Structure 1
């Protein structure tokens, strides 16, 4: 699957997620594929989309079980990047899309420099959705990429 197909798939799945009010395609000159996700609080998250083909290892085409849907908001009604990772991963897995075998939040890997969500696809391909910007309700995103608010 290429970035456009992943963008289409994620748009369809995430738009049906609880606490997600809108999912739109997003592009900028350096990122031809991405999503802007609007949560029920009005907070927004921009994620880029890139893909990689199979690595030659045996692909695991059997889907992993979907985790329970975690709480998106903290006690103050805010979202953190880690909460967004876990929540979006759970929504993507709960859809049982035949193209996706597993989903993980970047914070679960020790080498992650930025928050985001990774997808293992049928056939061994992978998709990467790094978080590029966040903005709380009524706020504008930062002007520099990968500037993620501690809460949004």
Structure 2
């Protein structure tokens, strides 16, 4: 699957997720071929990029049979943190039981570079790094990959 197909699939799934009001296509011009702007019920927004990698072997990825329960999206202050967003979005993607997605995971183990990874059933992978965040009523940062500690 290419970035545009992953974008379409993720937009359809995420737009139906609880606490998500919309997931629409987003592009920043020449730097990123595709991405999604996700709006949450709190008014917070998250821009994610989408890149893909083809399968490295002839074997398709093993599908995870069950979706994790939806974790709590908001912290005690009503804010979303990047690790919470990763876990939540991965769980929403898995709960759709889309035949194209074998598994979804957050990759915040790399500090400062949060996002969601997908293992696709065709053996390929998709990477959804967080590019911008904005709390309700705020503008996103001017520089890409500027992610707030809470939004």
- Name the TM-score, length of structure 1 as normaliser: 0.94
Task: Flag as ranges the 4+ runs of structure 1 deviating above 6 A.
Answer: none
Match of 1:59 in 2: 60
Question: C-alpha separation between the residues in 1 aligned to 2:68 and 2:106?
Answer: 12
CA contact (8 A) 1:100 1:120 kept: yes
Match of 2:106 in 1: 105
Gaps of 5+ in 2: none
Match of 1:121 in 2: 120
CA contact (8 A) 1:61 1:123 kept: no
Match of 1:142 in 2: 141
CA contact (8 A) 2:102 2:121 kept: yes
**Deviation sequence 1:113-135 (CA, Å, 0-9, x none):** 50000000012100000000000
CA contact (8 A) 1:132 1:146 kept: yes
TM alignment of 1:2-151, pairs within 5 A: 2-28=2-28, 29-56=30-57, 58-107=59-108, 110-111=109-110, 114-151=113-150
**Deviation sequence 1:72-100 (CA, Å, 0-9, x none):** 00011000000000000000000000000
**Deviation sequence 1:105-151 (CA, Å, 0-9, x none):** 012xx456500000000121000000000000000000001110000
RMSD of Structure 2 on Structure 1 (CA) = 1.3
CA contact (8 A) 1:42 1:136 kept: yes
Gaps of 5+ in 1: none
Cα offset, 1:65, TM superposition:
1.6
